[in-house]
Structure 1
């Protein structure tokens, strides 16, 4: 999987949401290699979308097609600043059922830089099953590494209320130990953002 992240100051959140749903409902099923996306506007007023593609090559092909270009022009009308693109070739999915993320009612975005991306992946994979057993509000997560050693970690949850309830429970000792080890890999303080009303889409083949 290849992930392209787009971030920009949001102007008209309703227009951005309409553009996201228009792509998913009308255009995504005839695209080249587009698999889905996670988007929304953070509480700080930043538009965020992580677009999933089968490969980088197919992303570039789709980006040059007239339909995608027209759609992106419409999207830009809802922004108040220049979008920043981050292309992620290394993507790891942690989810017993990847299709379940479409039901997410709350998404946390963690972004930072690490000194050892391979170790970060290994540590997270080692606690995946135990973490998901402990956090039944968590549907899964996607970890994408940037070309400059940065990363974006998307965590998908059932709802904001479920997250609040789950965070009151004590973390299993081994999970906490691994989480601490992952945090120590960061070379800068990670930033945390949330999408309280996320737009989560997957390609709908039936729309062809």
Structure 2
């Protein structure tokens, strides 16, 4: 799997949501290898999209389509400034990946010097699911320099906040502290999803 993260400041949220819906309706049928996406806005007007393809080649082929270029120009015009793009070939699924049933999504961006340590922490999903049943799944996308974007789908924000209050076992807390040091959290209170 290949993930591209798109982020930018956006105060024209209704128009942007409509344009993203238009992409799914009109352009996704011609996007080879497109698997889906998770989208939303933060309270401070950050638009974030986490888009999944089956490979980098499929994502790049989509980017080269003329109709994609025209659509991207319209999206860019709705932003309050430049957009950031992060391309990730190193993708790990948490449980079964994300969930279109999520009522709340948290995007976590950080950087680690040992990505394998972060992936190992997320590999033990049995104990995680027992401790945090409100976590429905997620994805971990890692860039070559160790920058990561973790997308976590929760059943609801209320359940996620309750889960945050639980005391994690010391070994789990140690790994979380390592991974989340200096990380930025983006809360998508009203996420929406697209699936191929």
Instruction: Trace 1:1-208 onto structure 2 (pairs within 5 A).
Output: 1-95=1-95, 97-98=96-97, 101-126=99-124, 128-168=125-165, 170-171=166-167, 173=169, 177-185=171-179, 189-203=182-196
Question: Which stretch has the larger CA shift, 25-34 or 149-158?
Answer: 25-34
- Report the alpha carbon displacement of residue 182 of structure 1 after superposing the two structures with TM: 3.7
1:47 & 1:179 partners in 2: Cα distance? 30
Q: Return the TM-score normalized by structure 1.
A: 0.87
- Report the alpha carbon displacement of residue 201 of structure 1 after superposing the two structures with TM: 1.2
- Report the alpha carbon displacement of residue 134 of structure 1 after superposing the two structures with TM: 2.2
- Report the alpha carbon displacement of residue 15 of structure 1 after superposing the two structures with TM: 1.1
Asked if the contact 2:109/2:148 (under 8 Å) is kept, the reply is yes
Q: Which runs of 5+ in 2 are unaligned?
A: none
Q: Return the TM-score normalized by structure 2.
A: 0.92
Equivalent residue pairs, number: 196
Asked if the contact 1:107/1:155 (under 8 Å) is kept, the reply is yes
Asked if the contact 2:110/2:179 (under 8 Å) is kept, the reply is no
Runs of 4+ in 1 over 4 A off after TM superposition: none
Q: Which runs of 5+ in 1 are unaligned?
A: 204-208
Asked if the contact 1:37/1:51 (under 8 Å) is kept, the reply is yes
- Report the alpha carbon displacement of residue 185 of structure 1 after superposing the two structures with TM: 4.5
2:174 & 2:19 partners in 1: Cα distance? 39
Instruction: Give 3-state SS (helix, strand or coil) of 1:101's partner.
Output: coil
1:103 & 1:88 partners in 2: Cα distance? 24
- Report the alpha carbon displacement of residue 48 of structure 1 after superposing the two structures with TM: 0.9
For residues 99-148 of structure 1, give each alpha carbon's deviation from its aligned partner in whole angstroms, at most 9, with x where no partner exists. Answer: x611111111111110100111012212x111112222111111010232
Which residue number in structure 2 is paired with residue 206 of structure 1? Answer: none
Instruction: Give 3-state SS (helix, strand or coil) of 1:77's partner.
Output: helix
